[in-house]
Structure formats: C-alpha cells, structure tokens
Structure 1
Amino acid sequence: MSIQAVVFDIGNVLIEWNPERFYDKEVGEERRRKLFKEVDLEGMNLEVDRGAPFARSVHDLAAKHPEWVTEIRMWHDRWIDMASPQIDHSVRIMGALQAKGIPVFSLTNFGIDTYDRAARDYPFMHQFDRDFISGHMKVIKPDPTIYEMLEDASGLRGESLIFTDDRSENIAAAQMRGWRTHRFKGPEGWAKRLVTEGLLTESEAA
C-alpha cells in the first residue's frame, strides 16, 4: 500500500519544546529541580492538552502553591519562550512534501489556547492539510482513540500513513494500528526516511 499522507507531531519535531532549559536559564537548575518536584507543571500541561483553559489552569495551580507563584505564572506568560525555536529543516521538509501534492497532517498534544498562541509566531501551523490537535479532540497521545479519530476523519489507515514523533510511546501506539512510523531524533534522519520511502528526493529533503 502506498503512503497517502504524512503525519507530523509538532513538539520537538517542528518546534523545540524544553521547559527545563527555559527554567534553568531563568531561575537556575537547582531551583528548577525543586519547582518541578513540588509542583506538577507537566500534569497541568497535559490537562491543557486535553482541552482545559490555559490561563485558568496556570492561575489555579499558582493559587495552590503561593511560594511558587512567579515561576508557575511563567508557564503562561513566557510560554512561547519554552516552545522555541522552530526546527527549520523539519518545516522545509513539510513544505517539500506539500509542494509535491503529498498531504501533511498534524497529530499533536497541544492545548487550544497554546496552539493559537504558537501559530502567531510559526505560520506553518496554519498550513497543514488536516489538523488533529488534542485540545480540540479532548484526548491525547498515546491513547488509541486519537489515532482512530484521525483514521475516521481522513479515511486513511495502516500503511497508507507514515507518522513521526519524538516519543517512543506515541510511536508504539501508531505501530499498533499498522501505521508506518519514524522515531524523530532529528530532521536529518526524518529526511532520509522520506527519501527511502520514495516521497522526496535527496535535494528536496535537504
């Protein structure tokens, strides 16, 4: 079966996502480690990815941890600094696929408000042929439901899809549905995989 669409994760595939790096720079590694141990920022962010309101979620968490108010509010006020920079080579690959008429979908754990905020800085986020954003779908990877929802909406499944993601559990869930997959460790490897699949030439994937 030939590939009919290419599916991209966004965080750490098209945009770097590294809250630890941001907080290390802002408050120092020792204080960041203490913050992340005492405050469940990641858990809060997963709820935002499931569709919870971004600002309210951050402010509610800050209210529960008055000793960390300034740091917690950074998650909202400085969010774009954590979701940066754009991975230019990956964005070029996306454009090269579309220039050849190959549909490109997103499949991403992303909040509604945070996606809209990021899209102001990263225009490619408005250019997918189909968007599958967890905040709107109310379910996050690697729940099998989100993959099934993409299949049902697109009419594609199994080896007609090739999916890249940086997280092994998300890749494993796609493999369980028969999708072709590529564990993203950098755009060069992803480019080579698309050349191997016959979707791009080496010059197109550069």
Structure 2
Amino acid sequence: MQPKAVVFDIGNVLIEWQPERFYDAVIGEDRRRAMFASVDLKGMNERVDRGAHFTDTIYAQAEATPEWREEIRMWHDRWIEMASPAIDHSVRLMKALQRNGVPVFSLTNFGVESYDFAATHYPFLHEFDRDFISGHMRVTKPSPNIYAQLEDSSGLSGADLVFTDDRAENIAVAASRGWQTHLFEGPEGWAARLVQAGLLTEAEAA
C-alpha cells in the first residue's frame, strides 16, 4: 500500500545530533565521559523535550552541579554546535516528496525554545506540512500517546503513514500501530525505501 504521508524524525535523520562528539572536541573524551557519568544529562534533555523551558532547565542543572557548571551551560550556549550539520540528502528527500504533493510531517523529541532556535539555522524545520513536536505535545517518543496524537490530528493511521527514525524503540512502537517504518541508518537507505514505496523515482531520490 502506498503511504499517504511521510513522517520524519529530525535528530540524526535531518540534522546530526552528537553531544558526545561536541564535548570530546571541546573538553576531551576523558572529561566528557566523567561528566556524562556523573550528571543526568539525558534526564535534563528529556525534561526539555517534554516542554520544560530550555534555558531555565539547563541553567538550573548547571547551578545544581557546580563542578560541571560551565560544561553543562554549553548544552545551551553552544547547543547548535551539537545539533549540526544538516543531513543534506535527507533534506532533499523531504523537499522532493513535497514537490510530488506528498504531505511530510515531523515527529520529533525536541524542546519548544530549542526547536525555534534550530529553525533560525535550518529554515526547513518550518516547512513541514504538519509539525508534531514533543515539547508542545508534552510527551516524547516512544510513548504510544505521541503516535496516537499524530493519528488523531492528521486523520491518518496504520499503513497510511511511513515513518523513519534512527532509534529502534521508536520504530517498534510505530510498527506496532501498523505504520510502515524504516530504521534510519543513512539517507541512502531511506531514499531507497521511498522509491520502493512509490513516492519518488530514483532520480528524485538522488
């Protein structure tokens, strides 16, 4: 069945998201490993993705962990360096689908303010046909609720949707709801999947 809409994750699908790589370059791998082991950065980021204020959340964590204060503040102050660069081939696929009249949705774990900031660097983030951003929805993948909200809002469900994400647990929940899925491991594979689905020609997917 040919999908009626295409759903993109953003981090590591349209934009590289590599905090470890950033910190390795700035403070060195050993200090980065020590920091990541002693500070709940994942929990901090999860709070932002669930709608907590970007600046307030990160700065509060920095003040609560004074031995890593400056490094934690970098998560905010130099955030765009962690969320870079764009994955150009994936962006081309998004635009090619839209030129063919295929609706393209985002479904992303992303904070409210951080998303708006990212869009000043990556204008394509404001070009989806529908946005499903966890910070606004107050729920993150892989909770089934975020998928249900997309279905309820769009009126599409099951095989009407084809979804790509770089995390297997997020793909698994979509698949359990009958969505067509693709585990993103690079834009070439995603391009081939869209050709297979009949949404793009090989030339359009290049």
Q: TM-score, normalised by structure 1?
A: 0.99
Matched, 1:125 2:116: no
Equivalences for residues 170-189 of structure 1 within 5 A: 170-189=170-189
State the 1:2 CA deviation.
3.0
Report SS of the residue matched to 1:162: strand
Matched, 1:83 2:83: yes
State the 1:85 CA deviation.
0.1
What percentage of aligned pairs have identical amino acids?
68
Q: Give the match for residue 22 of structure 1.
A: 22
Q: Is the 8 A contact 2:119 2:125 kept in 1?
A: yes
Equivalences for residues 53-202 of structure 1 within 5 A: 53-202=53-202
1:130-158 per-residue CA deviation (whole Å, 9 max, x = no partner) reads 00000000000000000000000000000
Q: For the residues of structure 1 that align with 2:3 and 2:186, how far apart are their CA atoms?
A: 21
State the 1:20 CA deviation.
0.1
- Count the aligned residue pairs: 206
Q: Which runs of 5+ in 1 are unaligned?
A: none
Q: Is the 8 A contact 2:2 2:197 kept in 1?
A: no
Equivalences for residues 27-42 of structure 1 within 5 A: 27-42=27-42
State the 1:26 CA deviation.
0.3
1:27-76 per-residue CA deviation (whole Å, 9 max, x = no partner) reads 00000000000111111001100000011101110111111111000000
Q: TM-score, normalised by structure 2?
A: 0.99
Runs (4 or more) in structure 1 with deviation over 2 Å come to none
Q: For the residues of structure 2 that align with 1:34 and 1:90, how far apart are their CA atoms?
A: 34
Q: Give the match for residue 12 of structure 2.
A: 12
Measured on the aligned residues, the alpha-carbon RMSD in Å equals 0.5
Report SS of the residue matched to 1:204: helix
